Homo-oligomer: A and B are copies of this chain.
Amino acid sequence: MPLAPHTESVRRFSRFYTRHIGVLQEGLLDSPYSLTEGRVIYELAHREETTATDLGQELGLDAGYLSRILRSFGRRGLVKKRRSSADRRRQLLSLTAEGQAAFARLNAASRNQIEAMLAELSEDDQRRLVQAMGTIESLLGAQPEQRVPYILRPHQSGDMGWVLQRHAVLYRQEYGWDESMEALAAEVVAHFLRHFDAKLERCWIAEKDGENVGSVAVVKHRDRAGVAQLRLLLVEPKARGLGIGRRLVHECTRFARHAGYHTIVLWTDSVLGSARRLYEDEGYHMVSEEPNESFGEGTAQVWELSL
C-alpha cells in the first residue's frame, strides 16, 4: 500500500503536467489541424504504411471518426490510400509529400516551443530535467516506442547544404575520397535546386531525434526520357542499422513508379558494399561497370530497376 503523501504528490504532478501540456498544445491552434488530427499525422509520419484499424487502435479513436479524418486528409492531399493486395478490405495509408511537409511544419512548431521552454533553463537544469523525465518513464514502464524512430520529409531550405556537407565529410572519412567527389556532389545539388521539378523530382530528408540523419533524391535523367535517377543517398553512421537507407531507397521506387517513369537508375562505386545490398534487395541490378577515373580506387557502376 503506497503512502498517502506519495499518492498525492503523483496527483499533483499529473495536474501540473496536464496544465503544462495544455499550454504547449495551444501552439497547435494556429495550425489548420485539431489535436486529434495532429496525433493522426504524427502517427502516420512515424509508420511506413498502416491501416486505419491499426491507427485507430493505437490512438484509441472511433473507427467512424477516424474514417472521416482520413477522408478529409485524402481530400486535402495529405494522405494517400492504397488497397492492400493481400487483403482487399484494407487500405494501406501513407503520407504524401504534402503530408510529410505538413507534419514537418507541425513538428518544427512543437519543437520550437519546447526549445523555447528549455532555453530558459541552464544547461545543468536541462540535464536534470531530462534525467528526471527519463526516470519517470522507466519507472512507469514506458515500453520503447515500436514506431520507426525517424521520420521522412521533403527537403526544406537549408537541407541541401547539409546534404552537401555530409556527403563531403562522410565520403572523405569513410573512403578517403578527395575533393573531386565534393565538387561532383555540389554540382548535383546545385542542379537539383536550380531545376527542381516538383512533379517529377523529389528529395527526402530522414530526421531522427530532431536531427537530419539521411537523404536521398530522385531526379530526371539528364539524357534518357522516362528514366529517373536516384542520387545523394546518405545515412549518418550513428543512424545506421535502423532501416533508414532501405526506406529511402524504397521511397524513391514508389515515387518514381507513381510519377510515371519506366526505369530508375543510379550510379555507385564498387567500394560501397552496404549500399549494394540495399539496391539488390530493392530489385536493382547492375548494368555496367567501368574503372572510376575521378576519385577513389573502386570501379564506377550503373544499377537499374524497371518499374
- B132 adjacent to A22 (CB under 8 Å): no
A130: nearest residue on chain B (CB-CB)?
B9
Secondary structure type dominating chain A contacts: helix
Q: Please, which residues of chain B bring their CB within 8 A of the CB of A184? A: none
- A132 adjacent to B130 (CB under 8 Å): no
Q: Which stretch from A95-103, A135-143, A171-179, A246-254 is at the chain B interface?
A: A135-143
Since A6-B126, A11-B110, A132-B135 are in contact, a sample of 6 more A-B pairs with Cβ atoms closer than 8 Å, ordered by chain A residue number, is: A2-B115, A6-B130, A7-B111, A17-B17, A22-B60, A117-B140
For chain A, the count of residues having a C-beta within 8 Å of the partner chain is: 50
Stoichiometry, as copies per complex, reads: 2
User: Does any Cβ of B come within 8 Å of A242's Cβ?
Assistant: no
Q: Please, which residues of chain B bring their CB within 8 A of the CB of A4? A: 209-211
Whole-angstrom distance between the alpha carbons of A211 and B8 in the complex?
10
Q: Please, which residues of chain B bring their CB within 8 A of the CB of A137? A: 12-13, 16
- B118 adjacent to A129 (CB under 8 Å): no
Whole-angstrom distance between the alpha carbons of A2 and B119 in the complex?
6
- B16 adjacent to A142 (CB under 8 Å): yes
User: Does any Cβ of B come within 8 Å of A260's Cβ?
Assistant: no
Q: Please, which residues of chain B bring their CB within 8 A of the CB of A127? A: 6
Distance from A273 Cβ to chain B, minimum over Cβ atoms (Å):
30
A127: nearest residue on chain B (CB-CB)?
B6
Q: List 28 A-B contacts (CB under 8 A).
A: A2-B114, A2-B118, A3-B126, A4-B210, A5-B210, A6-B129, A6-B130, A7-B111, A7-B114, A7-B115, A8-B111, A9-B134, A10-B117, A10-B130, A11-B110, A11-B111, A14-B21, A14-B24, A14-B114, A16-B142, A17-B17, A121-B139, A125-B139, A129-B135, A129-B140, A131-B135, A132-B133, A136-B136
